[in-house]
Structure 1
Amino acid sequence: MTEFATHLPAPTPRARLQKLTRRNHTESFLRMVAALFAAARPTQWPKNLLLFAAPAAAGVLSEPHIALQALAASVAFTLGSAATYFLNDLRDLDADRSHPTKCRRPLASGRISAKLGYAAALFLAAASMLTAMTVGWMTFIGLCTYLALTTSYSLYLKRFPVIDILVVAMGFVLRAGTGALATGVVVTSWFLLVTFFGALYIVTAKRQAELQSKTELMTPVSAEGLPPTTSRTTLSLYTKSWLEQTVTLALTSAIICYSLWAVQHPGTPLAAGLIQASILPFVATLLRYGYLCSRGDGQRPEHLMFSDGFLAAAAITWMLTAMAGIYLAVSL
């Protein structure tokens, strides 16, 4: 064996160079794929689980064809939202590059070129619309409305205070409403009101956390009136008192609407009791989230659920209690 090996021809420099080149190309391709995946913001994708909310609240999510319709609609919105994240980052390139943490985003750091970013946005938008069409025309219309709203936000609307908060909140409502359209579920006004005021509360509390963080890390103000620690142009236009008032309004409205939905929900005494009991963990979830945001910890709400045990426990208890009451009422 040793004698045979000694007669094998040694690799030529050209062969070694070709092998090294192929390895470099593979590594570059994998890095690009990883950067594209990161730019699509997978941590934001759980927002699209809201498309399951309407069929879940109606007690029909256990039916396979309903679950598949909701899943397909959720995939469509995941692709569409990823497209808008690319567009938003492309519009904020200069601001993100001067931000202490956003400068590490794939587009701002240069790991993805602007040309590739626009191509990815167009591809994801087209894929989302094709996926929505497989569910139905109403889902397609809901998705196109969402894309138009979020594109307008990225291009123009996010410059205006109040409007930027309302637009983001309406994005949540469109998700929930399209989930109902995709599955043929008729939702109540209470459902839509809870979704809107809950979303308004989450978004406004996030702005409150961002303002709190900006105040704590205050640096000399630039000529545009914005400290270099933030890339959100409307943040300097909000006041602490106004955000506190809006958070209180949204929180109060969400609790009232949810409570009215819960106490009016039909069912056996046990099922109705469980749904009404879900009011307590619902309130606890909102209060804990507001507390964390008031400390400046809510700049990334998607991470709070995994980093704060109290918030996670309250949210899980709320969902389990509400779903137990809903599906018990349906099954009896």
Structure 2
Amino acid sequence: MPGPPEDHPTEMTPGTPVRPTGELINATTGSENLRSLPATSDQPVETAPETLQTQVITRAPVSCRYLQLAAGLLRAARPRQWVKNVLVLAAPVAAGRLGSLAEAGQLGVVFVLFTGAAAAVYLFNDVMDAEADRAHPRKCHRPIASGIVRPPVACATSALLATAAMAGAAEFCNAPATLVIGVYLVLQVAYCTVLKHQLVVDLVLVAAGFLMRAMIGGLAIGIPISRWFLITAGFGALFIVASKRYSESRSTRDQGGATRALLVTYTAGYLRFVWQLAAGLTLAGYCLWALDGSTFARPALAATLPWRQLSIVPFVLSVLRYAVFTDRATAGSPEDVVLGDRPLMVIGLIWAALYGCAVAGV
């Protein structure tokens, strides 16, 4: 095929070698191919005005790819949600049992093991929800949904973490704490695969995960758990979960269930009823617990003021403050609400100070 006329030169991409016949040289093969092309005296090889440079496609080093994978796995384990596992301290704090170094060390072990078990569940859940997450405006950036972490790698890491959590619990914890971690893993796997699509059951199972966090610390160090504590923790967990579902339902109502199929079967009115009912029962349970002086593991010291009863005030304020975000449909991420709202954190510190005074008998 004859080349273009000399007064109409071929359009050139800077830095790309071209034969006069219009045939582009494969720029990824290096400069050796350029030297191997025959050039006649009447048709010299033309180059771009800039200095000829060969384009080379480079791949990230292996170490860099492994670092990206490790960072993706860490993000998929949701470090921001590890704050939930602080609930393992709930029963010991309520009973005033944080003075012993041995017990504090045992609670630290339980925290680490439950964090590993929860991370295993998060990874497995994200694998199961990858398609739905891609349709979500925020969850589409999760490592598994975005393709940073491949599902087989996530599943293998999840299985490894779950096995390590169970083995660690069997080695370092007592039988009740080990049983709670085992039941948690079984229920959460059932939730991720089947039960998340069942009305009401999904709310109960997610709330049960919070309740097991609140129970395991007391079981690990042999604290008898008050019935009022279980009522407060259980309905408080249901309040958080129903608030999350209500916010998700409101924020994704135009997506036709693409992000979570079960949301289209709940009505906003029903979810509002659930979180309001749960909030009321949480407050009632806490009031009864605070007024019951027999729930300490050891008799409370003589106090100058009824600190425990006074702690009802900041507790009620904290529920009311959280309900503001729920009503605005911005409570889809409980950890973001707790860590991101300064007034809520101040109220929490006031509650901790009052309850600490009750435990110390100030």
Residue 60 in structure 1 maps to residue 97 in structure 2: yes
- Correspondence for 2:210: 172
Task: Decide which of 252, 260, 266 is 1:214's aligned counterpart.
Answer: 252
* Residue 193 of structure 1: how far off its partner (Å): 0.7
The one of 277, 280, 287 equivalent to 1:249 is 277
Q: Distance in 1 between matches of 2:279 and 2:140?
A: 33
Q: Structure 1 CA distance, aligned partners of 2:301 and 2:222? A: 25
Q: Secondary structure of 1:82's partner? A: helix
Higher alpha-carbon deviation: 259-268 or 136-145 = 259-268
Task: Return the index of the structure with the highest Cα Rg.
Answer: 2
After superposing the two structures, state which structure 1 stretch, 21-30 or 127-136, moved more.
Answer: 21-30
Per-residue CA shift, 1:134-185, capped at 9, x if unaligned?
A: 1122211110011011111101111012110111111111112221111111
Which residue pairs with 1:320 in the alignment? Answer: 353
Alignment partners' CA distance in 2, 1:299 and 1:57: 28
2:327 is the counterpart of 1:294: yes
Higher RCO (CA < 8 A, seq sep 6+) = 1
Match of 1:197 among 207, 226, 235: 235
The two structures, once aligned, show a CA RMSD in angstroms of 1.8
- Normalized against structure 2, the TM-score is what? 0.79
Shift of 1:116: 0.5
CA distance in 2, matches of 1:185, 1:288: 31
1:212–1:295: 8 Å Cα contact kept in structure 2? no
Aligned in 2, Cα 1:35/1:177: closer, same or farther, shift over 3 Å?
A: same
| Distance in 1 of aligned mates of 2:358 and 2:212 | 26
Deviations 1:100-142 (Å, cap 9, x if unpaired)? 2211111111111111111101110011112211112221111
Q: Secondary structure at the match of 1:238?
A: coil
More helix, by proportion: 1
Is contact 1:75–1:131 with CA below 8 Å preserved after alignment? Answer: no
Number of positions where the alignment pairs a residue of Structure 1 with one of Structure 2:
299
Q: Residue 282 of structure 1 aligns with which residue?
A: 315
Q: 1:23 offset after TM fit, Å?
A: 7.7
Indicate whether 1:30 and 2:61 are aligned: no
Q: Helix, strand or coil: the match of 1:145?
A: helix
1:272, 1:252 → 2: CA distance? 26
Q: In the alignment, what sits opposite 2:306?
A: 273
The percentage of aligned residue pairs carrying the same residue is 36
Letter in 2 for 1:317: I
Deviations 1:242-267 (A, max 9, x none): 11221121111111110011112254
Matched residue, 2:168: 131
Q: Within 2, Cα distance between the matches of 1:298 and 1:243?
A: 13
Q: Output the CA distance in 1 between the equivalents of 2:252 and 2:150.
A: 30
Instruction: State the 1:271 CA deviation.
Output: 6.3
1:325 Cα deviation from its structure 2 partner: 0.9
TM-score, normalized by length of structure 1? 0.86
Residue deviations 1:277-323 (CA, integer Å, cap 9, x gap): 11011011111111111101101110112221211111221122112
CA contact under 8 A between 1:91 and 1:155: conserved in structure 2?
Answer: yes
TM-superposed CA distance for 1:268, in Å, is 5.4
Q: Is 1:271–1:325's contact at 8 Å kept on the other side of the alignment?
A: no
Matches within 5 A, 1:8-47: 24-47=61-84
The amino acid of 2:327's aligned partner reads S
Query: Where does residue 14 of structure 1 map in the other structure?
Result: none
Note if 1:84 corresponds to 2:121: yes
Partner of 1:15: none
Equivalent residue in structure 2 for 1:263, among 291, 309, 319: 291
Residue identity matched to 2:95 = A
Local SS of the residue matching 1:234: helix
